Amino acid sequence: MSPEFRLRDVAVTAYGPTVVSAIGHGAVLPLLALRARELGADLGTAAFVVALLGIGQLLASLPAGALVARIGERRALVGAGLLDAVAMIGAGLSETVLWLGAAVLLSGMTWTVFLLARQQFMIEVVPEGYRARALSMLGGSHRIGLFVGPLLGALVVQPWGIRGVFWLAAGAAVVAAGIALVMPDPGAEGRREQAVTGHLSVWSVMRAHRRVLVVLGSVVVVISASRALRTTLLPLWAEHVHMTPAETSLVFGVAAALDMLLFYPAGWLMDHRGRQFVAVPVVLAVAVGTLLLPLAGGVLAVTAVALLMALGNGLGAGILMTLGADASPRVGRAQFLGAWRFAGDVGATGGPVGLAALLAVTPLVVACLVAGVIGLLGTVWVGYWTGRVDRLRRTT
């Protein structure tokens, strides 16, 4: 551990763009399904519109790794922020579900580039001894934005309707791009060297590390699916029990407050107790919360379930980025992280898409029960493999 390094030295450039951009996404997420419903979508279609965010991330994951390897973290963050602003403006102007879905798809693609670039930047500038805490704080900065976003969203919904959250998100994306514009470019020398020798392709890096990507990638899929299911299912259940959009935003804001408070303890646990201690609660809390949702008949009950899910999710702050950083090679890291994000995006897409498929053939209550049982099985899987990772780390 380098005694000269201080996390606060990179705080603004590392965490600033994430906080600001997440404010916009935090404002949009609770109301995205409701906007689709407002435009005439049924429950299954509304869930699919939310899933398009993950589908966009999935489509862009592998190209994002190659892009960041070539143009660097700073340019990638700036470009992603500006394109996300365009996507949010398009979503706000949408008059049809198709138009809204296209804008959400583009936003998901830009978000993958943004996430991968910020993770790559942190791995480059933070010594390994600080890794889990730094990446947990990066996850925490995202949660701060998700806490502030729904609260601001609730304010703008009152005068401007649901469209207002998209204007808020567009402004946040532009500000995030502006902050990223002044950040350092730590990987510049490495990119120049690779330009001479030739950049590794994403496929060659995936072949060289295929075992790690398959084994730990399955863990990433399960955790990501659980997180995506939480943000999709809760708004739909809130509408089912006749909560207003403002009430839904406030519930997400309260849950995000708890989520936000746990990111540093999550990093400490990963550094001192292992990755398993924070990976398992993410999946378990969502599974139990999903099984409890059919019993939640009002605002207070829905808030209690949201807090339970937030507790598990907060304890898992930075887990996917930390596992990816641990497994990534020094040469071809951006390409590897692109493949790693692909696994996460498979889960983030699969959760809402699976829910949409369930809702097409079953009532919402039955979908909750099925998703909860699958989540319990996923908890066992995640616990087994992250336990093996921890044992391997202790012996090396």
Domain coordinates of the chain in residue numbers? 9-395
Q: What is the pLDDT of residue 1?
A: 40
How confident is the model over 190-220, as pLDDT tens digits? Answer: 666 665 556 678 888 888 888 889 889 999 9
In a 3-state reduction of DSSP, which class is residue 332? coil
How confident is the model over 261-283, as pLDDT tens digits? Answer: 888 888 888 877 888 888 999 89
Separation CA 381–CA 387 (nearest Å):
10
Integer distance in angstroms from the first to the last C-alpha of the chain?
Answer: 17
Q: Is 9-395 assigned to CATH 1.20.1250.20?
A: yes
Helix 299-315 and helix 210-240, axial crossing angle in degrees, nearest 10? 170
Average pLDDT of the chain to the nearest whole number:
86
291-326 per-residue burial string, b: 16 or more CB within 10 A, e: under 16:
bbbbebeebeebbebbbbbbbbbbbbbbbbbbbbbb
Q: Which among 367, 360, 348, 364 has a CA at the least distance from the CA of 45?
A: 360
How confident is the model over 341-370, as pLDDT tens digits? Answer: 888 878 877 888 888 888 888 899 999 999
How confident is the model over 15-31, as pLDDT tens digits? Answer: 888 899 999 998 998 88
Q: Are 327 and 208 in contact (CB under 8 A)?
A: no
Tokens of 285: 């809390």
Point out the least confidently predicted range of 126-130, 132-136, 145-149: 126-130
Separation CA 46–CA 346 (nearest Å):
19
